[in-house]
Amino acid sequence: MVAASLTNAKAETGLRPFDPLRDLGALADLLETAFASRLQAGGQAMVADLRAMRWLSPLVWALFHASPLFRAGLDGCVWVDASSGRLVGNVSLAPAGHRRWTIGNVAVHPDYRGRGIARRLMEAAIERVRDQGGTTVLLEVHADNAPAMRLYEGLGFRRQSATTDLRRPAAIKPAPLTDQSLDLALRPVSWRDWRQEYELALLTTPPDVWQVRAVRESQYRRGPVGALLERLAGQRIYRRAVASTGNAADRYAADRVDALVKLEGKRPYRLTLLVRPARQAELAEPLAAHVAQVLSTWPPADAVAQVWAAPPHLAEALQRHGFVAELTTVRMALDLRQHMPIPVEGQRA
């Protein structure tokens, strides 16, 4: 079905499948223009990779058609202006587990927005997933991108979890300590405590994220050799934990922690805050104050963090201590089992 609709659309609307042999350079230009004000380090690297692959386009074309793994990062549809032959729109698709697919870049050149191109690209992508037997379509969108949010919700996508990216400028000075922040009892974290960090990551990761990116033990496992290598390499990594306040009669309570703070000394400094959900409201403020105090003793540099947007306690507390919310990213999902197929233009709905 999708092949027929794309063939018809090509003649009438400029919609066609992505072709790595001729689209790599044009796609890099489009992404750079469409996301000019929002292109972060990862996006800039992707654009650079596309430009580099352009010079190897015959090899890329062969890999694209021979390797599903290679194709996963590039597959999708483009929109070409019928009069000029210019590539002005793109949507990318990638498998994300059993019968789940992820929609990546939904990009339309600024000069062509407001013409329904993004909607047609999305409809073609959803139809493609349906034809592949997929049941769920996932995507991410910036919370302040109201037109995109309306488009996705109009197509049946529903909001799930969200993350907020924050940055603390190097010049910010710590706020005066409050009684509450002085009360926080933290203990050092050794390599033996990696299981506690893993447990907190499991507890704080929303179920919808698990569907796409499982929290694996191997991501957190540390050993004495790794800890030694960190020291020999001169890596500055600050780790502290808040002990559990579980039932004293629970013999496992002493082995648990309710919060973990990790600051990595690369520039910008990277902050990780993991807090047991039941104690977020209580611990957010003193943890944020503690982080600000630690940063005041380090060489001046920006610090960045990413926290779950809901509940809002961590994001709000960090902002009270010099962090600035830069971006909130919303994860959305479309359950194809609850939605009828999108009618192809010219057919009855």
* 134 and 208 together in one domain: no
Query: Per the structure, how many domains does the chain have?
Result: 2
Instruction: For helices 313-320 and 280-297, give the axis angle rounded to 10 degrees.
Output: 30
* 19 and 44 together in one domain: yes
* pLDDT the model gives residue 349: 34
* 41 and 175 together in one domain: no
* Residue stretches of the chain with pLDDT short of 50: 1-5, 7-12, 42, 248-249, 251, 344-349
Instruction: Report yes or no on whether pTM surpasses 0.75.
Output: yes
* 15 and 150 together in one domain: yes
- 164 Cβ partners below 8 Å, 6+ apart? 306, 307, 308, 309, 315, 325, 327, 328, 329
Under 8 Å between Cβ of 85 and 117? no
* 132 and 188 together in one domain: no
Task: For residue 346, tell me if it sits in a domain.
Answer: no
- State the residue for tokens 């692959």: 53
Task: For residue 183, tell me if it sits in a domain.
Answer: yes
* 179 and 305 together in one domain: yes
* pLDDT the model gives residue 115: 93
Task: For residue 343, tell me if it sits in a domain.
Answer: no
* pLDDT the model gives residue 175: 66
Give the residue numbers spanning the domain of 44.
Answer: 2-163+332-338
* pLDDT the model gives residue 8: 45
* pLDDT the model gives residue 12: 41
* pLDDT the model gives residue 212: 74
* 144 and 8 together in one domain: yes
Spatial CA neighbour of 308 closest among 157, 204, 200, 220: 204
* 157 and 184 together in one domain: no
Number of H-type helices and E-type strands within the chain:
13, 12
Task: For residue 125, tell me if it sits in a domain.
Answer: yes
* pLDDT the model gives residue 52: 60
Task: For residue 327, tell me if it sits in a domain.
Answer: no
Spatial CA neighbour of 60 closest among 116, 108, 99, 19: 19
* 190 and 286 together in one domain: yes
Task: For residue 344, tell me if it sits in a domain.
Answer: no
- Read off the CATH number of the domain in which 73 is found: 3.40.630.30
Instruction: For helices 57-66 and 41-54, give the axis angle rounded to 10 degrees.
Output: 110
* pLDDT the model gives residue 314: 97
* 104 and 203 together in one domain: no
Q: Are strands 303-308 and 269-275 parallel, antiparallel or unpaired?
A: parallel
* 150 and 292 together in one domain: no
Task: For residue 13, tell me if it sits in a domain.
Answer: yes
- 202 Cβ partners below 8 Å, 6+ apart? 215
* 118 and 191 together in one domain: no
In the structure encoding, which two tokens stand for residue 17, read together? 């499948």
Task: For residue 345, tell me if it sits in a domain.
Answer: no
Q: What is the pLDDT of residues 219-247, one digit of tens each?
A: 888 888 877 777 777 778 999 999 887 65
Q: What is the pLDDT of residues 279-307, one digit of tens each?
A: 999 999 999 999 999 999 999 999 999 99
